[in-house]
């Protein structure tokens, strides 16, 4: 028995393996988006990812053709991954510290969509500029 204890045994854990379930969830969410027009959001900041795992996920998803920035109390960054309908959304505070990071599976992130009230205000603004004599 003493000779067995002398054998150096190491158990290696694949730290990137936690990424796989998230990728399967994204795959299922894309199918749901297409079949049922239902969006899904995955809060990456709530998942127990190591920096290496998060990097592996973002590298796997890659960057697509669309990026947007929203400037409000803090910046929000949006980019579509190389997979259409899969978006990375990051929210920063006024000190540019990352507050939240999500994978959103949707046609377009809701925060980027114009609201009907804003469109109505734009119609009114354009009307005033196009017809100044009516003022």
- Per-residue model confidence (pLDDT) at position 3: 64
Task: Mean pLDDT check: name the lowest of 20-29, 81-90, 106-115.
Answer: 106-115
- Per-residue model confidence (pLDDT) at position 72: 81
- Per-residue model confidence (pLDDT) at position 42: 97
Burial class (CB in 10 A: 0-12, 13-18, 19+), 19: buried
The strand pairing partners of 89, in sequence order, are 78, 102
- Per-residue model confidence (pLDDT) at position 89: 97
User: How high is the mean pLDDT of the chain?
Assistant: 90
Helix residue spans in 15-115 (DSSP H): 19-36, 51-61
Render pLDDT for 28-79 as a digit per residue (tens, 0 to 9).
Answer: 999 999 999 999 999 999 999 999 999 999 999 999 999 999 998 889 999 9
The number of beta carbons lying within 10 Å of the beta carbon of residue 45 is 13
User: What is the C-alpha to C-alpha distance for residues 68 and 108, in angstroms, rounded to an integer?
Assistant: 11
Confidence check: pLDDT of 94 > 60: yes
- Per-residue model confidence (pLDDT) at position 8: 66
Kindly list the structural domains of the chain, giving each domain's residue range(s) and its CATH number in brackets, ordered by start. 15-134 (3.30.1370.140)
**Do 90 and 77 contact (CB within 8 A), yes or no?**
yes
User: What is the C-alpha to C-alpha distance for residues 55 and 133, in angstroms, rounded to an integer?
Assistant: 58
């Amino acid at each position: 028995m003493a000779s067995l204890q002398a054998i150096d045994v190491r158990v290696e854990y694949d730290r990137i393996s936690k990424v796989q379930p998230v990728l399967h969830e994204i795959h299922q969410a894309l199918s749901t988006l297409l079949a049922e027009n239902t969006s899904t959001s995955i809060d990456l900041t709530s998942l127990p990812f190591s920096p290496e795992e998060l990097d592996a996920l973002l590298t796997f998803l890659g960057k697509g053709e669309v990026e947007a920035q929203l400037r409000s109390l803090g910046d929000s960054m949006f980019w579509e991954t190389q997979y259409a309908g899969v978006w990375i959304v990051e929210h920063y505070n006024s000190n540019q510290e990352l507050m939240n990071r999500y994978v959103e599976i949707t046609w377009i992130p809701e925060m980027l969509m114009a609201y009907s009230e804003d469109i109505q205000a734009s119609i009114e603004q354009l009307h005033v500029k196009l017809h100044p004599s009516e003022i």
